[in-house]
Amino acid sequence: MDNGSVWEGVRRMLPIAVAGLPEGVAFGALATSVIGHVAPVAMSLTAFSGSAQYATVSVLRGGGTLAAALLAAAALNVRYLAMSASVPGSSRRQRAGACLLLTDAAWGVAQGSRARLIGAGATDLASWLSGTVIGVLGGSLLGDPARLGLDAAFPALFVWLLRDHLGVLALLGAVVALVLTPLLAPGLPILAAGLAAGVIAVRR
Amino acid sequence: MTWLAVVLLAGVCVFMRVAVPLGLGHRRPAWLERALDAAMPALLAALVVASAVSDGQRLVLDPRLAGVAAGAAVAFARGPLLLVIVVAAGVTALIRAVT
């Protein structure tokens, strides 16, 4: 269907999925103390968005309104509107189906290939979902993921992907994100970086 | 309340993923292709910022950044992805262990 393969997406995503597993475990362990055993797993399957899920669970624990959590989730995920536009395919249903698996890492790995997106996204979902299940069942057996340096895995992936795209546009994106991070809700600076580069390209 | 929240959250997250693929026609207009090509490096760089030096709305400098810098050195020496990730995580963990 394009120049990538599903397997290629799986292969590239695998180290990230392994490094990200404790994130799912941490979410499952926290969420099960608030919303039981089934709801955290259902949430990881249907929302598939770590920060948005944390926001929602903290509301259910009694810290804020549901509307505020949904607004935070919308702000966090609105960048997917831009990322999903780059997924190729002639049928709406094929594109939308693949984009159900869209995450930052899967989008980066896909690099414009729908097959790679499916492979990478499914691998990411498998990691997030199985991590959640482990967390719900066993609590945080793995300890703090930061101790193992696993929080450096995601930025390392994006640096690796960025190495062939260095230039003015990358610099622009980094500056926009740095300036806006303290000012806007998490997620919005990423979208703003993409929009800024896109607008400049169209107007030129 | 719990299940209402689960359903509404799913609605928001699914909408953000499928709205554009469902809305776009058979072919993307040329201006959108140009914008998306230009947006890719900017988005990747912003994702590096968001995952390497941010904690919510705060900018933070911690051992993670040193790990990512070490990983970047491997990446620009054309090292494989797995090595980049192992080096980044390893250096971060090492610095956390000794400080």
Chain A residues near residue B20 by CB distance under 8 angstroms: 81-82, 84-85, 99
Residue A143 has a pLDDT of 63
CB contact under 8 A, A165 and B40: yes
CB contact under 8 A, B85 and A83: no
- For residue A93, the distance in angstroms to the closest alpha carbon of chain B comes to 7
What count of CB pairs under 8 Å joins A to B? Answer: 281
- For residue B29, the distance in angstroms to the closest alpha carbon of chain A comes to 11
Angle at Cα A73 formed by Cα A69 and Cα A75, nearest 5°?
115
CB contact under 8 A, B48 and A159: yes
Cα–Cα distance for residue pair B1/A192, rounded to 1 Å: 33
Angle at Cα A70 formed by Cα A69 and Cα A75, nearest 5°?
100
Q: Give the pLDDT of chain B (99 residues) as one tens digit per residue.
A: 889 999 999 999 999 999 999 998 777 888 998 999 999 999 999 999 999 999 889 999 999 999 999 999 999 999 998 999 999 999 999 999 998
Cα–Cα distance for residue pair A118/A116, rounded to 1 Å: 5
**What is the percent of chain A with per-residue pLDDT over 70, rounded to a whole number?**
97
What global pTM score does this model have? Answer: 0.86
Residue A139 has a pLDDT of 65
For residues A1 and A91, which has the higher predicted lDDT (pLDDT)? A91
CB contact under 8 A, A156 and B84: yes
Q: What is the average per-residue pLDDT within A36-44?
A: 96
Cα–Cα distance for residue pair B44/B37, rounded to 1 Å: 12
Q: List all residues 6 or more positions away from A111 whose beta carbon is below 8 Å from its beta carbon.
A: A4, A161
Cα–Cα distance for residue pair A120/A182, rounded to 1 Å: 31
Residue A138 has a pLDDT of 83
Q: Which of A151, A155, A141 is nearest to B96 (CA)?
A: A151
Residue B6 has a pLDDT of 96
Q: Judge whether residue A156 has pLDDT over 90.
A: yes
Best of A160, A161, A204 to mutate (most B CBs within 10 Å, chain B): A160
Chain A residues near residue B92 by CB distance under 8 angstroms: 149, 151-152
Amino acid at A30: L
Q: What is the mean pLDDT of chain A?
A: 91
Q: Which structure tokens are listed for B12?
A: 């928001």
CB contact under 8 A, B48 and A148: no
Tell me whether A75 touches chain B (CB under 8 Å): no
**Which residue of chain A comes nearest to B96, CA vs CA?**
A147
- For residue A40, the distance in angstroms to the closest alpha carbon of chain B comes to 9
